[in-house]
Structure 1
Amino acid sequence: MSLTLKPLSLEVDWIGEPNLAFAGNLTHIDPKVGIPAAGPWSRNEPNHPTTVTAGFIGTAECVATARTWLARAAKGVDGDDEHHPFCGFQTDGPFGAQLRTDGPEAKINAAEVRALTADGLKRLDGLKHLLDLIDDRLRRLADLDAPPAVVFITLPSQITKRYRSVHQWNRGVETVWNLRAGIKARAMRRGLRTQLLQQETVESNLEAHTSDLEHPADLAWNLFTAIYFKAGGFPWTPVGLAEGTCHLGVTFYRPHGERSAMRTSVAQAFAENGEAFVLRGNPFEWKGKWPHLPAEEAARLISDVVDRYKRTMGRSPRRIVIHKQSRFFPEERAGFEDALGDFEYDLVSLAPATGVRLMRHGAYPPPRGTYVSLGDRRYLYTTGYVPSLGRYPHGHVPTPVQITDHVGDSNAQDLLREVLLLTKMNWNSARFAERLPVTVRFAGEVGAILRDLPDDFEPEARYAFYM
């Protein structure tokens, strides 16, 4: 008996680079061009921060070094053939905003550093003590008549390296305690937005690229873009998302010490203007390889998102798109679809595809935006050669993102076009684009912060507290 194999259909196309919007309705594909040319999108809007007061937590030496480095970086940083110069963060410059580096500080003294680095101190005990110290300093800054807009936390590298991540095993269950997540959770409870500054960063040379860090101009771009957003501004907004569209990134996390109980977090819910918010779902029991929502919890999550969207945007969404990195289980899908009955919707599973490569002639990999249809499978290169840059800005062989599951109203190419746009919506940096869309890009980091918050505390919805 012979076996006949049907040939797979292959289609390759290219999705053009999406635009972003800046002040004065200027559109461009690159934040490092759009902001110097016109200014950030909200420059002429009520939420534009003209002055950003910085607060500081750290040792006396680290704080003094950070003040000097930030003041110098805010004046602008030279670029080179492969790196855009940073335009500065000045009132009379493109950002139209000034960072006040003479703001209040809450120091960690030498005796406290010695206690944190003492021989024989268990790492988990030391991490808890460090977080208590930082929480005390956050309280002091929050209690001021005029709290700082952004708090810079800068600690000696011996402390950050020692306590960056601490693993604990208890009755066969691993718990990972994360310094960054712990700081963010405590700052949120104090109503403060924070920026962690590594000692290596504030001691780096802004005049020349002499360290293993990013180029100085890129460091400044990424840092001050994040500062602008944390202070209330929008550096840019997406172009091309239909009005009334809300994109959700759904992820899961396990509370500290739990074996089977899970919680849901909508890591980012993005409206068409880029407005983002975070929600935390209810606990639920889960067993198996891939976590998925019970039907009633999936429906409740949609109800919460719609309610938050109405409060944020002043109207109901027209279309809801859900991004996950795992497939939709039947019960989960049914819960979502029942709750989405009155909306246009798309349920989309996205995952990096490590087993598929597209080869091309020439010195560079496929262009970013290359779309591949192989049978009923759909792939998108979110990294790759960038024609407008004239280079491939990554050091690894690019792999595409695959739509592994889809139910809904839109065709695959339109969904991938939206994914490509959402890879440009990371306001925590001014990078040209990320590998994954922002809806799922920070899923793990958001879950880690939610994990550190007590159940009786209502998490901040605004994404600036999680960055």
Structure 2
Amino acid sequence: MKIELLQPEPELEFGDSCRCQDMRFGIGHYGTFDFQDSSGPRTIKLGIVGTAATIDALTEWLITCKLEIPGKRDSKQPRLYPPFPGFTQTQSFHASLSWDERDLIPISLSDEACTGSFNEVVEKVVNIYVSEIDSLLERSKLDVVLCAPSLEHLKIVTRTLEPISRDAAAIVTTSEEVQPAGVRPSENADSAAASDDDGNDPQKETVWYEFHDLLKAKSLHLRTPLQHILPATYDESRAAEQKKLKNRDQQDEATRAWNLLTAIYYKAQGIPWRMTRDDADLRTCYVGVSFFRTLDTNRIYASSAQVFNRRGEGIIVRGRLAYEDTNKQIHLDEPGAYHLIEKAIEAFKGEHHHYPARVVIHKTSSFSNEELDGFKKFLKEKGIEFFDMVYLRQSFIRLFRADTDPPLRGTLWQLDERHAILYTRGSVPFYEAYPGKYPPRSLYMDCENAQRSVRELARECLALTKMNWNNTRFDGQLPITLRAAKQVGLILKYLEDADTSKLSQSYRFYM
């Protein structure tokens, strides 16, 4: 066994091929990766749906974001809280935002829309928003639609006492963990059991709809990505009230601007940054495989392959039914594994006009022999000789340092040649701080079915944690392959009977 620190921190590539380990400093100093590319977004046309009050407040704040926003006041970690440079065509993002008055759509909810069971109300409110967005896109060609519900609307469609977090429910490894977001066990188990003679399942669970996820699901056919924005993002006076609903700490204004404007830039088909690649590196396709349970909680689907290249361009494909083995691990059979990797790699080829030289598969449960046979069969047929299949899951093993700070990000504990514990979150020397609130969890890596060394795959995993365009600090735990799996599973579960071939496959629509 060996413990080491993977150094240096993986860098990202920005404008003029300049490199930096931090997203915000990279964009601030060198510009976005594609700012000199004629295909990059220069004027991003927005539409906004919300209430009259939220539209006014949001547009006013977006105008503020054209100028520099100072970093967090009195902070002892200036690298952790840098200023936002402003969203203009002359620096950093080299792009601007624009909107027409006719594309600002106020929404009001009738008494009828707010009447019914919780799920009925959520669906009615979502349908109202989607209908307005659909009408908006019929008359205007937009790059991104901002959805800005008021706190009053959010209170109507939010259950404040959720038994499990959305993240915890989105990605599963065993059947005991396969549970959709918003699942609440029966409040009266004895009563439920007593009704079993009537044909009711005593284990039946109630599924509460999630406004954000259902809105994204019902908007996938619109072919324009949405950006959901909470009121406290642009109006700090709503932070305390919003926390009662979402229980999220308020970020400083510059950080909020960095995160939101980077996400909008990416959704407008921009490339804020990409992973670095040496000339000797193989052209690699990264695939994340995970599972989710449908709304009726009875069937488990292969959520997809989430397919990414080093530019962060993501493609989502949906797989077949999975099954539960005797150890309650979720797996695909051989035809299902072949079908999933075939769809993933063919989608990659459709985007890039060639097959990758190397394929990396990240999976949230162990690889069964059937899965290995199915994956390898397809790769062999296409002449793809280089592949690495890595089983990743959260670990309960924790390391401790001599001082009070958590282990450094990049700490790798090699248990043997094929297994390791990796800290993707932890204290960051660049920030001179640990950018988290609670002790970080490590990742367990099982590389028994990989060709490259654990150390190489761990460094790659670290780099992939930075390919998240909703967060401009490199403190995420999961690589984008599996982080995307969470988001995709939360949305696809609402589409079990839909023809997903007609829906957008781009990750921009799911994040």
Which among 135, 152, 160 is matched to residue 130 of structure 2? 135
Aligned ranges for residues 8-27 of structure 1 at < 5 Å? Answer: 9-27=1-19
Q: Report whether the alignment pairs 1:237 with 2:274.
A: yes
Contact 1:164/1:180 (CA < 8 Å) preserved in 2?
no
Instruction: Give the counterpart letter for 1:367 in structure 2.
Output: L
Please tell me the root mean square deviation across aligned C-alpha atoms, in Å: 2.2
Q: 1:13 to 1:153 in 2, by over 3 A?
A: closer
For 1:293 and 1:53, the matched residues in 2 are separated by 42
Question: What per-residue deviation string (whole Å, max 9, x for no partner) do you get for residues 97-136 of structure 1?
Answer: 1111445022212xx2544445xx3211111110110121
For 1:48 and 1:260, the matched residues in 2 are separated by 41
The 3-state SS of whatever aligns with 1:297 is helix
Aligned ranges for residues 218-257 of structure 1 at < 5 Å? Answer: 218-240=255-277, 242-257=281-296
Q: How many aligned residue pairs are there?
A: 448
Which among 78, 91, 94 is matched to residue 93 of structure 1? 91
In structure 1, runs of 5+ residues without a counterpart are: 1-8
For 1:74 and 1:372, the matched residues in 2 are separated by 45
Deviation of 1:261 (Å): 4.3
Which among 338, 357, 371 is matched to residue 398 of structure 2? 357
Contact 1:15/1:371 (CA < 8 Å) preserved in 2?
no
The 3-state SS of whatever aligns with 1:402 is strand
Instruction: Give the counterpart letter for 2:11 in structure 1.
Output: N
Deviation of 1:398 (Å): 2.0
> Percent of counterpart pairs with the same letter?
29
Q: Which residue of 2 aligns with 1:324?
A: 363
Contact 2:287/2:307 (CA < 8 Å) preserved in 1?
yes
Deviation of 1:332 (Å): 1.7
Q: Report whether the alignment pairs 1:276 with 2:314.
A: yes
Q: 1:457 to 1:340 in 2, by over 3 A?
A: closer
Q: Which residue of 1 aligns with 2:105?
A: 106
For 1:65 and 1:253, the matched residues in 2 are separated by 37
Instruction: Give the counterpart letter for 2:38 in structure 1.
Output: P
Which among 201, 205, 216 is matched to residue 184 of structure 1? 216
For 1:424 and 1:163, the matched residues in 2 are separated by 32
Deviation of 1:217 (Å): 0.7
- TM-score normalized by structure 1? 0.90
Contact 1:253/1:265 (CA < 8 Å) preserved in 2?
no
Deviation of 1:324 (Å): 1.0
Q: Which residue of 1 aligns with 2:58?
A: 66
The 3-state SS of whatever aligns with 2:391 is strand
Q: Report whether the alignment pairs 1:381 with 2:413.
A: no
Q: 1:287 to 1:74 in 2, by over 3 A?
A: farther
Q: 1:375 to 1:167 in 2, by over 3 A?
A: closer
Deviation of 1:88 (Å): 1.1
Q: 1:132 to 1:363 in 2, by over 3 A?
A: same
Of 94-103 and 46-55, more deviation after overlay is shown by 94-103
Contact 2:409/2:425 (CA < 8 Å) preserved in 1?
yes
Q: Which residue of 2 aligns with 1:160?
A: 154
Deviation of 1:55 (Å): 0.6
Which among 258, 263, 271 is matched to residue 302 of structure 2? 263
- TM-score normalized by structure 2? 0.83
For 2:155 and 2:233, the matched residues in 1 are separated by 14
Q: Which residue of 1 aligns with 2:191?
A: none
Q: Which residue of 2 aligns with 1:122?
A: 117
For 1:430 and 1:12, the matched residues in 2 are separated by 26
For 1:237 and 1:433, the matched residues in 2 are separated by 17
Deviation of 1:181 (Å): 1.4
Contact 1:76/1:88 (CA < 8 Å) preserved in 2?
yes
The 3-state SS of whatever aligns with 1:235 is coil
Instruction: Give the counterpart letter for 2:90 in structure 1.
Output: D
In structure 2, runs of 5+ residues without a counterpart are: 160-181, 187-199, 244-248
Contact 1:188/1:465 (CA < 8 Å) preserved in 2?
yes
Deviation of 1:34 (Å): 0.8
Deviation of 1:159 (Å): 2.4
**Greater strand fraction, Structure 1 or Structure 2:** 1
Q: Which residue of 2 aligns with 1:6?
A: none
Contact 1:117/1:159 (CA < 8 Å) preserved in 2?
no
Q: 1:358 to 1:167 in 2, by over 3 A?
A: closer
